[in-house]
Amino acid sequence: MNRTLLAFGSGLLGLVLLIFVALSVGSAGTGWGDGGGLVLLRTPRILAALAAGLALGIGGAAQQGVFRNPLADPGLTGVFGGALLGIAILLGATPTLAWQRPWIIPLAAFLGALLTSVLLVLISGRGNTARLLITGLGLNAFTAAGTLVIASRSNESRELLTNGAYGDWLGMATLELIWLPCLLCAVASILLLTLSRSFDLLSFGEDSAQANGCDVNRSRRWTVLLTALAAAAATCLVGQVAFIGLLAPHLARGIIGPRHRLMMPLSGLLGGGLLLCADTIGRAAWPQNPLSAAAVMALLGAPLFIWIARRSHE
Amino acid sequence: MSEIAVQALGVSVDFGGHLALDGASLTLPFGNVTALAGANGAGKTTLLRALAGLIPQATGEMTTAEYDPRTTPPAILASVRAYGAQAAYSAWDFALSDFPFLSSDPVLCDAWLERLELADLRHRRLSQLSVGQKKSAHLALTIASLGEPFGKIILLDEPTVGLDIARQELVQQACLDLAFAGAACVVATHDMNFIRRCHQVAVLSEGRLIAYGTPATTLTPAIIYETWGVS
Q: Are B203 and B218 in contact (CB under 8 A)?
A: yes
Contact flag B92-A253 (C-beta cutoff 8 Å): yes
Domain B4-89+147-161+173-228: which topology? Rossmann fold (3.40.50)
For residue A236, CA distances in Å to A145, A174, A227 come to 19, 12, 14
Averaged pLDDT, B49-75: 94
Residue A139 confidence (pLDDT) above 80:
yes
Chain A residues in contact with B49 by the CB 8 A cut-off are 207
Average pLDDT of chain A? Answer: 88
Query: What is the C-alpha separation between A179 and A181, in angstroms, rounded?
Result: 6
- Mapped onto helix, strand or coil, the DSSP state of residue B171 is helix
Lowest mean pLDDT among A83-87, A112-116, A120-124, B11-15: A120-124
Name the pairing type of β-strands B33-38 and B200-205.
Answer: parallel
Sign of the Cα torsion B138, B140, B142, B144 reads: negative
Residue B159 confidence (pLDDT) above 80:
yes
Query: What is the C-alpha separation between B185 and B154, in angstroms, rounded?
Result: 5
Name which of A200, A211, A258 is nearest B83 (Cβ-Cβ): A211
- pTM of whole model > 0.80? yes
Residue A63 confidence (pLDDT) above 60:
yes
Name which of B77, B90, B104 is nearest A203 (Cβ-Cβ): B90
Averaged pLDDT, B183-202: 96
Q: Are A213 and B81 in contact (CB under 8 A)?
A: no
CA-based nearest residue in chain A for residue B96? A257
DSSP state of B95: B
Q: Where are the domains of chain A?
A: 51-313
Bridge partners of B205, per DSSP, are B208
CA-based nearest residue in chain B for residue A128? B91
Averaged pLDDT, B79-89: 92
Percent of chain B scoring above 90 in pLDDT = 89
B93 touches chain A (CB under 8 A): yes
List the single best residue of B70, B92, B186 to mutate versus A (max A Cβ within 10 A).
Answer: B92
Task: Classify the phi-psi angles of A111: left when phi > 0, otherwise alpha if psi is within -120 to 50, otherwise beta.
Answer: alpha
pLDDT digits 0-9 by tens, A183-209 = 999 999 999 999 999 999 999 998 999
User: What's the pLDDT at B186?
Assistant: 97
Averaged pLDDT, B22-27: 94
In three state form, how does the secondary structure of A192-244 look? Answer: HHCCHHHHHHHCCCHHHHHHCCCCHHHHHHHHHHHHHHHHHHHHHHHCCCCCH
Task: Classify the phi-psi angles of B10: left when phi > 0, otherwise alpha if psi is within -120 to 50, otherwise beta.
Answer: left
For residue B197, CA distances in Å to A163, B34, B135 come to 71, 10, 21
Averaged pLDDT, B158-173: 95
CATH class held by domain A51-313: mainly alpha
Query: What is the C-alpha separation between A196 and A61, in angstroms, rounded?
Result: 9
Q: Which amino acid is present at A309?
A: A
Length of chain A: 314
User: What's the pLDDT at A228?
Assistant: 93
Averaged pLDDT, B50-56: 94
Chain A, chain B: beta-carbon pairs less than 8 Å apart: 71
The number of beta carbons lying within 10 Å of the beta carbon of residue A313 is 8
User: What's the pLDDT at A258?
Assistant: 95
Q: Which segments of chain B are extended strands (E)?
A: 4-15, 18-29, 33-38, 59-64, 81-84, 153-157, 184-188, 200-205, 208-213
Contact flag A257-B94 (C-beta cutoff 8 Å): yes
User: What's the pLDDT at A26?
Assistant: 74
**Angle made by CA atoms A286, A292, A294, in degrees to the nearest 5:** 140
A214 touches chain B (CB under 8 A): yes
Contact flag A200-B102 (C-beta cutoff 8 Å): yes
For residue A38, the Cα-to-chain-centroid distance in whole angstroms is 27
The set of residues, in sequence order, having a beta carbon less than 8 Å from that of B95 and lying 6+ positions away, is A257, B122, B123, B124, B125, B126
Nearest CA of chain A to the CA of B3: how many Å?
A: 23
Q: Which amino acid is present at B133?
A: Q
At residue B93 the predicted structure's pLDDT band, cuts being 50, 70 and 90, is: very high
For residue A280, CA distances in Å to A170, A216, A283, A285, B160 come to 11, 40, 5, 8, 56
Query: What is the C-alpha separation between A63 and A56, in angstroms, rounded?
Result: 10
Percent of chain A scoring above 70 in pLDDT = 97
Averaged pLDDT, A167-195: 92
At residue A312 the predicted structure's pLDDT band, cuts being 50, 70 and 90, is: low
* Partner A, chain B 28-57, Cβ-Cβ below 8 Å: 49, 52-54
Query: What is the C-alpha separation between B194 and B200, in angstroms, rounded?
Result: 11
Residue B165 confidence (pLDDT) above 70:
yes
Averaged pLDDT, A149-165: 85
Residue B30 confidence (pLDDT) above 60:
yes
Query: What is the C-alpha separation between A62 and A42, in angstroms, rounded?
Result: 30
User: What's the pLDDT at A127?
Assistant: 56
A259 touches chain B (CB under 8 A): yes
Q: Are B63 and A199 in contact (CB under 8 A)?
A: no
Number of H helices and number of E strands within chain B?
9, 9
User: What's the pLDDT at A286?
Assistant: 84
Longest dimension (CA), chain B: 50
Main-chain phi, psi angles of A58, to 5 degrees: -75, -40
User: What's the pLDDT at B192?
Assistant: 93
User: What's the pLDDT at B185?
Assistant: 97
Query: What is the C-alpha separation between B132 and B159, in angstroms, rounded?
Result: 10
At residue A285 the predicted structure's pLDDT band, cuts being 50, 70 and 90, is: confident
Q: Are B83 and B48 in contact (CB under 8 A)?
A: yes
The set of residues, in sequence order, having a beta carbon less than 8 Å from that of A152 and lying 6+ positions away, is A158
- Mapped onto helix, strand or coil, the DSSP state of residue B61 is strand
CA-based nearest residue in chain B for residue A64? B91
Query: What is the C-alpha separation between B195 and B173, in angstroms, rounded?
Result: 12
Name the pairing type of β-strands B184-188 and B33-38.
Answer: parallel
